[in-house]
Amino acid sequence: MPSNHASSRSSLPIKKKPSDFIFGKVIGEGSYSTVILAKEVSSKKEYAIKVLEKKHILQEKKKKYVMREKEVFSRINHPFFVRLYFTFQDENRLYFGLGYCKRGELLDYLNKLGSLDCAATQFYTAEIVLALEHLHNLGIIHRDLKPENILLDENMHIQITDFGSAKILGEEDNGLRRNSFVGTAQYVSPEVLNSKESFLSSDLWALGCIVFQFCAGKVPFWGGHEYQIFQKIIKLEYEFPHGFDSTTQNLVEQLLNLDPRKRLGCKEMGGYAKLKAHPFFEGVDWDNLPEGKPPELQPYLPACGEDSENLWGQYKPGLDDQHLSQLQLISVDGKLGSPSEQTPSTSNVTGARASWANEDDRSRKLDKQSRENDYHRFVEGHLILKQGLLDKRVGLFARRRMMLLTEGPHLYYVDPQHMVLKGEIPWSEELKPEAKNFKIFFVHTPNRTYYLEDPSGNALKWCDKITEVWRHYYDDKKKDAPLS
């Protein structure tokens, strides 16, 4: 008969090992770790396994950071945080088995959209607030809260991760660096820069930066290098761009307070109950937020809700055939069909194809372009099919650019003031133009949506021309047509 000791040993969970998993692609990398998507052989479940090299941890004196992160994960029990399911090790590495967030980083969506609309800004800010309330009730400061560390699960709810910089109140910081700040430059609080001291409300400062970024498309404090960013933070040197929602602005101003004891949400200011009562959160169902349906992620478009002066200023009296056809192209919700749904006029397509396919005509136009067009030097010898000054927006921030649509196809954009090529919108079969109104249009690409505004009100013409080029290169009927 087996002894009680043997029986208790057999009931212990079996430690996992690397051979229990099929390791797939790398989905994240840190300063001393790599996160790999892995599937457990027995259960077929997917995990994000954080792999840490023991040798590197010891060399870089990161042991306390690693142990602290594991401790924080073990204390957290909330739906808005990444869960630690298991840990194991071998001779060379440590392994943390984390929940896999299939939708990736919130930062990726911000980069693609530029900014979030009011509904998404409110929803995701509310989820972060609930998460911070739980974390701070446990006496834990995250200290590196930023969109890159906010992941999204398959249902598009947040999952906060990365506790390598976290601080547990009441524990000593012995062995941890005190001669440099902890966190990321754009989100670090002034007290950390001034005294290297963190408060629970240091996370609320980061929240203010994130809310600003959600709405504006950029962080409030930015510069060419870290020192410049730090100086702006210490001096509270930032400004709200035109079109920033006034209620959201009030919330941000109460979070970005230089005094950590005067930030909305901290204990001295009434705690999280006071923060959640701010008008910004009106209508939020706090009790059912984890089960709620997240809003569809859309960029913030203040120009779409135009007042009468802006609306009527675009149009001329009368209704001719051209104006009527333009009005019909824009649907009730302000969208223009995708390239497969749009039908540019036959004359435009014919004229464009003649310019491209006829070598003599193309050579003549290219020669004239090289002699007379100041922007010829930016297009790598390609024929310019359409050009014009547009405002290229990232959130609420805009930069005037000369947009150059060429054969190839290519969409270059140039700083017209300094005559410097700033970039190129990447072409692929998935590229789609979308008009929002007569001034604003999007160019959708797989990894980003470009938000463009034509001050002259010719957004539809840009969409038509981009669609022409798209069809010339990607329409099955025209893919094999000669260009030059």
Instruction: Say if 39 falls within a structural domain.
Output: yes
Give SS3 for 39. strand
Which pLDDT tens digit goes with each residue over 117-146? 999 999 999 999 999 999 999 999 999 999
Domain ranges, residue 389: 374-478
Note whether 236 and 278 are same-domain residues.
yes
Which pLDDT tens digit goes with each residue over 166-176? 999 987 654 44
pLDDT at 112 (0 to 100): 87
In this prediction, the residues of the chain whose per-residue pLDDT falls under 50 are 1-11, 174-179, 303-312, 314, 328-352, 354, 478-484
Note whether 77 and 225 are same-domain residues.
no
pLDDT at 300 (0 to 100): 67
Predicted structure pTM score: 0.74
**Of 55, 80, 99, which residue is a domain's last?**
99
Please state the residue numbers annotated as binding site for ATP.
50
Residue 475 catalytic? no
Helices (H), 257-345: 271-276, 308-312, 321-329
Neighbours of 447 (CB within 10 A): 10
| Helix 246-255 × helix 202-216 angle, to 10° | 150
Note whether 90 and 148 are same-domain residues.
no
pLDDT at 163 (0 to 100): 93
For residues 353 and 308, give the distance between their C-alpha atoms in angstroms, rounded to a whole number: 40
Note whether 225 and 120 are same-domain residues.
yes
The DSSP annotation for 133-179 comes to: HHHHHTTEE-S--SGGGEEE-TTS-EEE---TT-EETTS--TTS--S
Instruction: Say if 36 falls within a structural domain.
Output: yes
Note whether 159 and 39 are same-domain residues.
no
Instruction: Say if 410 falls within a structural domain.
Output: yes
CATH code for the domain in which residue 427 is found = 2.30.29.30
Note whether 130 and 24 are same-domain residues.
no
For residues 35 and 33, give the distance between their C-alpha atoms in angstroms, rounded to a whole number: 7
Dihedral, 343, 441, 324, 309 alpha carbons, nearest 10: 180
Instruction: Say if 421 falls within a structural domain.
Output: yes
CATH code for the domain in which residue 56 is found = 3.30.200.20
Note whether 402 and 469 are same-domain residues.
yes
Note whether 56 and 143 are same-domain residues.
no
Please state the residue numbers annotated as binding site.
50
pLDDT at 395 (0 to 100): 77
Neighbours of 207 (CB within 10 A): 25
Using the Cα atoms of residue 316, residue 321, residue 324 and residue 329 in order, give the sign of their dihedral.
negative
Catalytic residue among 117, 144, 203, 454, which? Answer: 144
Instruction: Say if 177 falls within a structural domain.
Output: no
CATH code for the domain in which residue 213 is found = 1.10.510.10
The DSSP annotation for 221-271 comes to: S--SSHHHHHHHHHTT---PPTT--HHHHHHHHHHS-SSGGGSTTSGGGTH
Note whether 130 and 204 are same-domain residues.
yes
Neighbours of 75 (CB within 10 A): 12
Nearest 5°: the CA angle 6, 10, 15 is 130
Note whether 392 and 251 are same-domain residues.
no
Instruction: Say if 50 falls within a structural domain.
Output: yes
**Of 61, 84, 99, which residue is a domain's last?**
99
pLDDT at 322 (0 to 100): 57
Tell the residue number behind the tokens 């479940």, with chain if given: 45
Note whether 154 and 278 are same-domain residues.
yes
Instruction: Say if 460 falls within a structural domain.
Output: yes
**Of 53, 72, 99, which residue is a domain's last?**
99
pLDDT at 317 (0 to 100): 61
pLDDT at 30 (0 to 100): 77
Note whether 192 and 64 are same-domain residues.
no
Instruction: Say if 380 falls within a structural domain.
Output: yes
Tell the residue number behind the tokens 């035109």, with chain if given: 242
What's the domain count of the chain?
3
